[in-house]
Amino acid sequence: MTEIDARIERAVRALARRTGRRAFLARLGALLTGAAGLPLLPVARSAAESPRAPGPDENIPGKPGDPTDCDYWRHCAMDGFACACCGGSASTCPPGAEKSPVGWVGSCHNPADGKDYIISYNDCCGKGWCGRCGCNRNEGERPDYHWVRNNDINWCVSAKSLVYHCSVAIVVGQATEPQPER
Amino acid sequence: MKAALAVSGAAAVLWAAAAGATPPPAEDYLLHCSGCHHADGAGVPGVVPPLTGLAPFLATPAGRAYLVRVPGVAQAALDDARLAALLNWVMREMSGADPRPEYDAREVGALRADPLRDARAARASALGR
């Protein structure tokens, strides 16, 4: 037993001579800083999106209206519950809901700057019906036979869970030709 | 005569401005393709094929035709000329391929008038699988 104690003591003292507390703190600090960056890696990003994190599409000049209102400009062809009323935002799913990887794309007119923007409508999936802010605006929407422009489809068919929670309207570009064509 | 030509030319320019210029293929891509294939053409694994490796299709007439006849392309709400421009753009930008000759309205119009009965079988056949 004494021999074991002596060996451990020698090992610990040798370790203490080679390393200092500062070195340990520096490594711990580096580890913690690295860990903080881990969520930024593109792994299951859609599932981990912060509900209020502003996306690049939120840098558009002038955003009149309220994203929790069906009359909000970018909800012009939404058929579903606005995610901004469900713990998410106009462009991000609420925590615990997965954004459908497939959606449909149209355009909406932004009265603030008079421009038209291309909007990707995606559903957020994996949680029960949100039930708040049920919107049913169908500008530019097309019947079922033109399914890529149809908002009655549950786009959660492309997600891990078929269960529909709410819908987001993500600005993906500017439109020179509004949809529907004027 | 020159004056008449100048006037008609100016009128044509004004008419084009009033009618609105044709949107660039990148915009048509966002509106007609990106909902499923994503803005970068990566698609969705197991659900939507990527548009990033289509060069092998150009190696055979059947493959070249498949890219137009596949339902998502053939049924797009675009006229033949815009669809041809979009196809050329996708091949260049997403697949790094250079269609020779480039797709044009005539070729696209003829191909999309001949619908595929079985897209998956046609795809496999075009790739020699």
ipTM (interface pTM): 0.77
Residue B16 Cα, gap to closest chain A Cα (Å): 14
Provide the pLDDT for residue A134: 95
Q: What is the mean pLDDT of residues B13-17?
A: 42
- Spell out which residues of chain B touch residue A173, defining contact as CB-CB under 8 Å: 26-27, 30
pLDDT at residue B19 greater than cutoff 70 = no
A55 interface with B at CB cutoff 8 Å: no
Q: What's this model's pTM, rounded to 2 decimal places?
A: 0.73
Min Cα distance B20 → chain A (Å) is 8
For B54, what's the count of Cα atoms within 13 Å in the CB-facing half-sphere?
Answer: 29
pLDDT for res B128:
86
What is the model's pLDDT at position A105? 92
C-alpha distance from B121 to closest chain A C-alpha (Å): 23
Residue A147 annotated among the catalytic residues of the structure: no
In this structure, which amino acid lies at residue A4? I
Average pLDDT over all residues of chain B: 87
Task: HSE, CB side, 13 Å, CA atoms: give it for residue A4.
Answer: 1
Within 8 A of B30 by CB-CB distance, chain A residues are 105, 118, 172-173
Residue A105 contacts residue B37 (beta carbons within 8 Å): no
State the pLDDT at residue A181: 63
Per the DSSP assignment, residues forming a β-bridge with A164 are: A125
Considering only residues B3 and B43, tell me which one the structure prediction assigns the higher pLDDT. Answer: B43
Phi and psi at A38, nearest 5°, equal -55, -45
Provide the pLDDT for residue A46: 43
- pLDDT tens-place string over residues A93-116: 999 999 999 999 999 999 888 899
Is residue B48 scored above 70 in pLDDT? yes
Task: Check if the beta carbon of residue A130 is closer than 8 Å to that of residue A172.
Answer: no
**Cβ contacts of residue A141 below 8 Å, gap of 6+?**
A77, A79, A106, A149, A150, A151
Chain A contact for B40 (CB, 8 A cutoff): no
Radius of gyration of chain B (CA): 18
Name which of A24-33, A140-149, B17-26, B62-71 the model is least confident about.
A24-33
So what's the pLDDT on residue A19? 52
| Pairing, β A79-81 against β A134-136 | antiparallel
CB contact under 8 A, A102 and B23: no
In the prediction, which pLDDT does A57 show? 62
Please judge whether A176 and B48 are an interchain contact, meaning their C-beta atoms are less than 8 angstroms apart: no
Whether B88 has a pLDDT exceeding 90, the answer reads yes
* Residue among A129, A130, A84, A137 at smallest CA distance from A109: A137
Average pLDDT of span A110-138: 93
Q: Does A103 touch chain B (CB under 8 A)?
A: yes
For residue A16, pLDDT beyond 60: no
Amino acid B8: pLDDT: 46
Establish if B49 touches chain A: CB-CB under 8 angstroms.
no
At residue B46 the predicted structure's pLDDT band, cuts being 50, 70 and 90, is confident
Instruction: For residue A102, give the H/E element and its range.
Output: none
**Is any Cβ of chain B less than 8 angstroms from the Cβ of A146?**
yes
- pLDDT tens, position by position, A21-79: 454 445 545 544 444 444 443 333 344 343 334 444 665 655 567 899 999 999 999 99
Per-residue pLDDT for B57 more than 80? yes
